[in-house]
Amino acid sequence: MVPRSTARLAVVVAGTALVAACQDPSVATGPAPSAARAPQAQDRLEALFQQASPEVMALRGTVFADNDEVAGRLVFGVENIAAVRGVEVALSRLGVAESDYSIELTPPIRLAATLRDRFRPTQGGIQIHFTNYLCTLGFNVDHAGGRSFITNSHCTATQGGTEGTKYYQPTSTADPTVIATEAADPSYVKGGSCPRGKKCRWADASRALYSGAVASTRGEIAKTTGPNNNSLTVGGVFTVASQDNTTTSFPVGTVVNKVGRTTGWTQGPVSRSCVNSSVQGSTVYLYCQTIVTAGVGSGDSGSPVFQVTSGDNVKLVGILWGGASDNSYFVFSPLASIQRELGAVTATK
């Protein structure tokens, strides 16, 4: 918001530029700009504004107060019709004439939350913190072991094996509350079909059990302002209306999405399906994973992966765990493989 003197100047400059560009007559034929009105009128309105603004804005349902110098009146924004009468009563009590103000219905102003902010209740796609690292909360579930969330196995203190990793949201410094504790992370196995020198699993996934006092919402994934635009600003939610409990081989070309704390909402086609994958710098080997041509970044590990079915309704299909070194594609474990190792989960709304 610009200072009032600057806003007043901007009106005059804009008006002057318009006159010059359009070659209008030098004598004004319409209403005079607000800055050209009698200074006494402006001073009177400013005095009314200074008196009325704190009184009105103390009322429930008010959104803004403005001394609209262009309209030459005070303007008050309210969330709904129910708030109008209270504003009228307050202004009448202050002696503000009806001709000196107007009331407008306007949507309430909300803080622009990002995926890295604090969320209570928690939902999928937001930042979580453990030990010295950051990951993404995949999705909230109901499980035989209790109310939980799913994230990656490598988003624990030790990949494979359950050692009780503590999770915070968004970070332990921003909020020291332990939101959940690692409850299940199966050990990786060797031998059999697992290549020599490797340790194998079907999914890079773990389950964390929520602390009793921490609220979570099952079936919701944070939705940013749009796909592939690098925004982390939350503009709504995706509703998990269904979950794919059976597919492990997705047809090439199938468009899937993910929401993660680093690159937000990205979207792209499946490029390879049911591939067995190694992980650079480790002995981890994962069976039947899916590669998607879409953006990813460090910290997106744990992102929920889903298909949009209609509107903001989605079908949950898996969890992201890795990607290309140039961030050109991501890799996810199918939900069917996650449940194969962690047990049945209900992730829908």
Asked whether residue 111 is domain-assigned, the answer is no
**Looking at residue 34, what is its pLDDT?**
40
Residue 177 to residue 48: CA distance in whole angstroms:
47
Contact 291, 300 (CB under 8 A): no
Average pLDDT over residues 85-105: 96
Average pLDDT over residues 100-110: 85
Which of 33-37, 142-146, 330-334 is predicted with the least confidence, judged by mean pLDDT?
33-37
Residue with tokens 């949507």: 107
3-class DSSP state of 346: strand
We report the CATH number of the domain holding residue 99 as 3.30.300.50
**Looking at residue 108, what is its pLDDT?**
74
Asked whether residue 255 is domain-assigned, the answer is yes
For 3-36, what is each residue's pLDDT tens digit?
333 222 222 222 222 222 222 233 333 334 444 4
Question: Within this chain, do residues 22 and 41 fall inside the same structural domain, yes or no?
Answer: no
For 158-174, what is each residue's pLDDT tens digit?
999 999 999 999 999 99
Query: What range defines the domain where residue 188 resides?
Result: 122-346
Question: Within this chain, do residues 129 and 61 fall inside the same structural domain, yes or no?
Answer: no
Question: Within this chain, do residues 317 and 221 fall inside the same structural domain, yes or no?
Answer: yes
Asked whether residue 260 is domain-assigned, the answer is yes
* pLDDT at position 344 over 50: yes
Question: Within this chain, do residues 71 and 155 fall inside the same structural domain, yes or no?
Answer: no
Residue 328 tokens read as 């050109």
Report if pTM > 0.85. Answer: no
For 212-237, what is each residue's pLDDT tens digit?
999 999 999 999 999 999 999 999 99
Question: Within this chain, do residues 214 and 286 fall inside the same structural domain, yes or no?
Answer: yes
Under the banding of pLDDT at 50, 70 and 90, the label for residue 112 is: low
Number of compact structural domains in the chain? 3
Question: Within this chain, do residues 234 and 329 fall inside the same structural domain, yes or no?
Answer: yes
